[in-house]
A = this chain, B = another copy of it.
Amino acid sequence: MANHEHISGSFADELEGVKNKLLEMGGLAEQQIKMAIEALNNDDKDVSKEVISRDDLVNELEVNIDEEASRIMALRQPAASDLRLVISVTKISTDLERIGDEAVKIARQVKILRQEPRSRTNYAEIKMIGERVSNMLRAALDAFTRLDPQAALGVKIEDKHVDDDFAAALDNMRVLMAEDASVIKSILCEIWVLKALERIGDHACNIAEQVIFLDKGIDVRHFSSAELRDLLAS
């Protein structure tokens, strides 16, 4: 689309357009996580390759959204809540791109894990935490769509559970490695997968923080849970 077409369209349409592109990117990131875990569960080389190759689509959307946001800032010079929206969109797109990177990291571990005997974990923790962080991402994107800071707070709270699950899973992995040195390589791969999922949870939290910023105009990135609850109750 040429620049003049942008200028002739309505400002509201442009904002709506970049928001929709962000949600499209969010949907893609969700799919990438789902496919990466599926590839792991089914030892599926083809699906893992697909996740890796589809990362280009995620990256293109990020660049695209950032260009569009810059253009809106330069040409429309948005103020107040519109400016906040444009800034938030670029921040959220960075998080979605990183989520895509984490899905790729999971997919890359599939290649190594396929050559090792399946560990006794049978990926139980990975499936559970994978489910949790996928739900968090979905909830964060829904909160963005509906501009729902309470739902965003829910995502932040859920992340504490993910961190606990992650720590418990690591303890378990450590025991398995100590019991049988032959599984160290595959368990380390599983640890990298868990770490990637834990990071996805963090990125979902970042998105949730942007939703609160959009609604309240307050930067809550470094608020404690108690401070957040107080803010949203007020």
Binding site for B on A (CB under 8 A): 56, 59-60, 62-63, 66-67, 70, 73-74, 77, 79-80, 83-84, 87, 90-91, 94, 170, 174, 177-178, 181, 184-185, 188, 191, 195, 219, 221-222
Contact B219 A67 (CB under 8 A): yes
**Which of A63, A185, A222 has the most CB atoms of chain B within a 10 A radius of its CB?**
A222
**A63 contacts which of B79, B84, B170, B222 (Cβ < 8 Å)?**
B222
Given contacts A70-B83, A178-B184, 9 further A-B contacts (CB under 8 A): A59-B221, A63-B221, A70-B87, A73-B87, A74-B80, A170-B188, A174-B185, A177-B177, A178-B181
Min CB–CB distance A63 → chain B (angstroms): 5
- Given A73-B83, A74-B80, A195-B195, A219-B66 contact (CB < 8 Å): yes
Give Cα distance in the complex from A184 to B91, angstroms.
Answer: 38
**A177 contacts which of B74, B170, B184 (Cβ < 8 Å)?**
B184
Chain B residues within 8 Å of A79, by CB: 74
- 25 A-B residue pairs with Cβ-Cβ distance under 8 Å, sorted by A, are A56-B222, A59-B221, A60-B222, A62-B221, A63-B219, A63-B221, A63-B222, A66-B219, A67-B219, A70-B83, A70-B84, A70-B87, A73-B83, A74-B79, A74-B80, A74-B83, A77-B77, A87-B90, A94-B94, A174-B188, A177-B177, A177-B181, A177-B184, A178-B181, A178-B184
Min CB–CB distance A181 → chain B (angstroms): 4
Give Cα distance in the complex from A219 to B74, angstroms.
Answer: 17
Chain B residues within 8 Å of A62, by CB: 221-222
